[in-house]
Every structure is written in structure tokens, then in C-alpha cells.
Amino acid sequence: MGVQVSWDTTAEQPPARRAAFASMTAATAGDKEAWLALFAPDGVVEDPVGPSMFDAEGKGHHGREGLSAFWDMTIANVERFEFVIRDSHAAGDEVANVGTITTYLPGGYRVDTDGVFVYRVREDGLVTSMRAFWETERAMATARKVTE
């Protein structure tokens, strides 16, 4: 495995990187309200970008209602998350995190999703856009029964 990137969340970080870390933290904790509170009222999530099993039209999930439905359809169904961010590139009001999200699903299954996860924030630090670039087929190819 390559070098792991971490950042001290108590040190000053670009706002988009802070928002991305807070998003991962809320998802890991299963805290829907904390996650929703990170987004601007007109925020959008495209995860993954383009048409998918979560978004047939590929237009993203918009506003609190859309984001709440996205959470219920995806994040709420994961028993445990592990985020490994191998690199993080902050520029302007955005950050692109390169890494793997491991999800543990009901029935004892594990899926590793490699991708690039891009967050954009507005001046007050609220997320206006989260775009996740990953390939469904690649992720599903990693699905396996966990034997612990």
C-alpha cells in the first residue's frame, strides 16, 4: 500500500478540506443531521457522477430533501465505513481527495470503492457540491463476504 495522507484537524486547513473531513466523520458516525448541516440549502451531491443505480438521470441529489433521500438510500444502509485518503489537493474553494471508501454492508459483505471525491464550499464553509468520481463495476468487483 502507498503512503497514507493524514491531516491534523486542529491545524488550519482549507475550508473545503475541513468540510470533506466533517462529511466523512458524520457518515462514519451515522449522523444524518450533522451530515445534512454541512450543506448549503441548495447543495448537491453527485455520487457517483453521472447516471447510476442511485441517480438514474445523473443529475445529482439537490437541496435538503434530495440530500436526505440520498442519505436514506445509500449511507443509511452501510453498517460501517472506512475512509483511506491517499492524497488531497486543495485549490480555491475546492478539494479533491483521492482514496478508497470501504463499506461494510448487511449480510456480511464488504466493498472497496476507489475514487476521487471533490468538495466545493461557499465562503461560509457550507458545501455547495460534492462530486464522487468512481466506477460502479470496479467497486462491485471488490464485493466479498467478510470472514472475521
pLDDT of residue 12: 82
Cα(120)–Cα(130) distance, integer angstroms: 6
Query: Residue written as cell 453498517?
Result: 79
In the block, residue with C-alpha cell 488550519: 12
Whole-prediction pTM value?
Answer: 0.91
pLDDT at 147: 80
At 102, which CATH number? 3.10.450.50
Domain that holds residue 93: 3-7+14-145
- The string of pLDDT tens digits covering residues 57-98 is 999 999 999 999 999 999 999 999 999 999 999 999 999 999
Total number of domains constituting the chain = 1
